Amino acid sequence: MAKIEKSDAEWREQLTEEQFLVTRKHATERPFTGKYAETTDPGTYTCVCCGEPLFESETKFDAGCGWPSFYQPIEDANIETQTDRSHFMVRTEVHCAKCDAHLGHVFPDGPQPTGLRYCINSASLDLQPKDD
């Protein structure tokens, strides 16, 4: 997959300030404030930066953590992970494979069938509604 690369100025033109800070500067939105934290609408969650399909609504669940949570991505190849040692802890960061947008983190405390919880910032997502 070819990576999308843009300057900070180009990303700032495309994104809101919150979207820019979360996706390009690895910020985190406050829990229970994101527009998709409570959403149950059917559809596909795509990367707000590049439109890459990331998660299906069928894999979203209420983890009670304040951020949208999913138990698996649409395709493993659409996301990448790396070790995040910020904030005096070790976590696994999740980012978009196509544009390197910071999405959130993945934890090993999710439901079956994967046992994973992809804890994702609403600001990094765009919900594409399912066609009826």
Residues recognised as catalytic: 119
Place of tokens 């990331």: 54
